[in-house]
Structure 1
Amino acid sequence: MKNPVNILQKFSLFTDQWSPKIIGELNGQYVKLARLKDEFVWHSHKHEDELFMIMKGTLIMEFRDRTERIEEGEMIIVPRGVEHFPRTENGEEVWVLLFEPKDTKHTGEVDHQKTVRDQSWI
């Protein structure tokens, strides 16, 4: 059994945006935290679903056929293979908790300046 993790305290340990930090591992999945602001990049994950749980703020998730607003305390699961474009509004920083398989590439097969290849533990 592991010790409890204070998620809000973990958010205080980093300020960089669009660079997920790993805080736990279970059943072949990483539990990650990320600070998001402005726009990311259109991408998909061929083999992995992603869960985004909003801890603070409002995340806008663009899909090719619709737009979803995910509010604080809500979550959305992006199914594998579905192209998506996360963003925020009005300069707001959004805090998210993510569940992803350990081998999930940050931006799928898209190589972009925001792609993080080596995600670190905090």
Structure 2
Amino acid sequence: MNGKAINLSEKLETFSEYWSPKIVSRFNGNDVMVVKVKGEFVWHAHEETDDFFLVLDGVVTIETEDGNVTLNPGELYVVPKGVQHRPVAAEEAHILLIEPKGTPNTGDIATAAEKIDI
């Protein structure tokens, strides 16, 4: 443990691409990531894990097969495992994600974005 706080705003300033999660920390086998989003992501499900979204900036709608949930800054939503969903943002938004290490963001390792540490 290095005893240094992680500034999420500073981490978000280091990249510009959308839908490409960046790992900022790890705990108990989980990746803590930040991601910039804009537009629509692909419909997908995670069969083995829930999907955690915390909006840091902007507005994100999590469309699901069970209905839509719109999130503003400071709001979070957990999509239960196995539920088809996709995040959508009309304008750029920033999200904090927590997932078990190695979880593909599309639910399929063949189509998932590579997650890198920043």
Is the TM value for this pair above 0.5? yes
Aligned residue in 2 for 1:120 = 116
Query: Which structure is higher in strand share?
Result: 2
Q: Which runs of 5+ in 1 are unaligned?
A: none
Q: Which residue of 2 aligns with 1:66?
A: 67
Amino acid at match of 2:10: Q
- 1:65 and 1:120 map into 2 onto residues whose CA distance is 32
Residue 116 of structure 2 aligns with an amino acid whose one-letter code is S
Tell me the residue number matched to 2:8: 7
Q: Which runs of 5+ in 2 are unaligned?
A: none
Deviations 1:81-119 (A, max 9, x none): 111011012xx101000000002112003855xx31x21
TM-score of the pair, normalised by structure 1: 0.90
**1:103 is aligned with what amino acid?**
G
Structure 1 residues 63-86: Cα deviation after superposition (integer angstroms, max 9, x where no partner): 112111011110111111111011
Query: What SS does the aligned partner of 1:88 have?
Result: strand
Q: What percent of counterpart residues are identical?
A: 37
Q: 1:110 to 1:63 in 2, by over 3 A?
A: farther
Runs of 4+ in 1 over 4 A off after TM superposition: none
Native 8 Å contact 1:43 1:110 kept in 2: no
Alignment partner, residue 51 of structure 1: 52
State the number of aligned residues: 117
| TM-score between both structures, scaled by the size of structure 2 | 0.93
Alignment-mate amino acid for residue 107 of structure 2: G
Provide the rounded CA distance (Å) in 1 between the counterparts of 2:93 and 2:78. 17
CA offsets 1:19-45 (integer angstroms, 9 cap, x no match): 000000000100000000000000001
What is the DSSP-based 3-state SS (H/G/I as helix, E as strand, rest coil) of the residue aligned with 1:4?
coil
Kindly indicate whether the alpha-carbon contact (under 8 Å) linking 1:59 and 1:70 is maintained by their aligned counterparts in 2.
yes
Which residue matches 2:28?
27
Shift of 1:120: 0.6
Partner Cα separation in structure 2 for residue 110 and residue 103 of structure 1: 9
For the residue of structure 1 that corresponds to 2:66, the secondary structure is coil
